[in-house]
Amino acid sequence: TTQGRFGRALSFNGTNSLVTVEHSASLGLSDGMTLSAWVYPTALKSNFTSVITKEMSGGLAYALHSDSPRPSANLQIRIGNNNRWISAGSQLPVRTWTHLAATHDGSSQALFVNGEQVVRTSHSGNLAVSNNPLRIGGNTVTAGRAFEGVIDEVRIHNRALSVAELATMAETPVASGVPAEPLPVAPVAGFSVDVSSGTAPLRVRFTDGSSGTISTRQWSFGDGGSSGAVNPEHTYQAPGTYSVQLTVTGPGGQ
């Protein structure tokens, strides 16, 4: 696992890593469906890559793909003996989180990218029901479709969610039921001094002016001295020019 959109997530190498979920009745979707996930591709391939796929003999019953280099989202469904493809959106950005969602209500299908509906089309009928496994990050039916990057917050519903429900779901971690706190932002270091020049020995008072949530501070005074205090004092014993550095770290990084 690795850092996800919320908490931890699954990382896929783009060649042979995937997650297998054995069939259960709850995955045998028919007259309604919503597939969704946060995706963070680290590389784009020359064809679609599988995010969520429900396999069936010789094909896929339903699937949500991240498409490259063409549209960013792709829904594939099997109605009767016919495969239906719905694609839309611009190319996915690399190393950026994007929320993908697809719905089927028995008569129409829609694709959403970051909460915005990008296409809606009409194909009537129930989905083909398969007892084969569901895969995340790839499939065993079509070669070369393995996702490369991170997938988080995979959800499968047995009905088509509304636009409002999709928006809420996208910002609510799986199993929490509570909207997620914003991701922490790395603090920004800054400080001021009471004097910047004088005769040695010279005592200088430093005042931390950093912003953000800060866990630790590390001062380097340029003459070999250091401190972890919030607002330290330091005495320079010898004449010279000194470069002072303040490093701050917090939940969001350094």
pLDDT per position as a tens digit, 143-161: 888 999 999 999 999 999 9
The residue written with tokens 């928006």 in the block is: 167
CA dist., res. 149 & res. 12, Å (int): 5
> Which structural domain, as residue segments, surrounds residue 237?
191-249
User: Residue ranges of the alpha helices (H) in the chain?
Assistant: 163-170
What's the number of domains the chain is made of?
Answer: 2
- The single-letter DSSP state of residue 231 is S
Per-residue model confidence (pLDDT) at position 67: 66
pLDDT tens digits, 160-210: 999 999 999 888 888 755 555 555 677 899 999 999 999 999 999 999 999
Q: Are residues 165 and 195 in the same domain?
A: no
pLDDT in tens, 55-65: 998 889 999 98
pLDDT tens, position by position, 11-43:
999 888 899 999 999 999 988 999 999 999 988
Q: Are residues 95 and 202 in the same domain?
A: no
Q: What is the CATH number of the domain that holds 233?
A: 2.60.40.10
Percent helix / strand / coil, the chain, rounded to 5:
5, 45, 50
Query: d(Cα 196, Cα 222) in Å, to the nearest integer?
Result: 13
88 within a domain of the structure (yes/no): yes
CA distance 254 to 239: 32
